[in-house]
Amino acid sequence: MDFKIIIGLILGIIIGILAASLIPAAAPAQQPQCPTSLDAIKKRGVLVLGTSADWPPYEYVEGGAVVGIDIDIARKIAQSLGVRLEVRDMKFSALIEAVRRGDVDIVLADMAITPDREKQVLFSIPYQVDSSVVIAKRGARIQNVEDLKGKAVGVQVGTVQEDWAVKNLGNFSKIIRYDKVYPYMVEALRKGDLDAIIVGGVVGKALVRRFPEFEIVMSIGVRYSAAAMPLCAQDLKIQVDRVIYDMLQTGEMERLINSWVEKWLYS
Long-range contact set of residues 140-144: C-beta below 8 Å, sequence gap at least 24: 140/195, 140/196, 140/217, 142/195, 142/196, 142/217, 142/218, 143/217, 143/218, 144/218
In a domain, residue 86? The reply is yes
Please tell me whether residues 219 and 135 are part of one structural domain.
yes
The domain tally of the chain equals 2
Q: What is the pTM of this model?
A: 0.83
| Residue-number span of the structural domain to which 92 is assigned | 38-128+225-266
State the Cα–Cα distance between residues 93 and 107, nearest whole angstrom.
Answer: 12
CATH number assigned to the domain comprising residue 168: 3.40.190.10
State yes or no: cis peptide before 57, omega within 30 of 0. Answer: yes
Residues 90 and 70 in one domain: yes
User: Do residues 179 and 241 share a domain?
Assistant: no
Given a contact cutoff of 8 angstroms between Cβ atoms, the answer to whether 148 and 142 are in contact is yes
Kindly state whether residue 15 falls inside one of the protein's structural domains: no
On the CB side of 1, CA atoms within 13 Å amount to 19
Instruction: Tell me the CA distances in angstroms from 19 to 23, 122, 239, one per residue in order.
Output: 7, 18, 16
194 shares a domain with 169:
yes
Cα-Cα-Cα-Cα dihedral sign, residues 246, 250, 256, 261: positive
Q: Residue 24 burial (CB < 10 Å; 0-12/13-18/19+)?
A: exposed
The answer to whether residues 198 and 255 belong to one domain is no
Radius of gyration of the chain (CA): 19
Chunked in runs of 10, what are the mean pLDDT values of the chain (267 residues)?
55 54 44 81 97 96 96 98 98 96 97 97 97 96 95 96 95 94 94 97 93 96 95 96 98 96 85
d(CA 240, CA 242): 5
pLDDT in the model for residue 96: 97
Rounded Cα–Cα distance for residues 85 and 44 (Å): 11
Amino acid 29: pLDDT: 46
Q: Which residues contact 109 (CB under 8 A, 6 or more apart)?
A: 50, 51, 52, 55, 58, 59, 70, 92, 95
Tell whether 70 and 152 lie within a shared domain.
Answer: no
- In-domain check, residue 20: no
108 and 89 within one domain: yes
Closest to 176 measured CA to CA, from 196, 202, 190: 196
Cα–Cα–Cα angle for 117, 176, 95, rounded to 5 degrees: 30
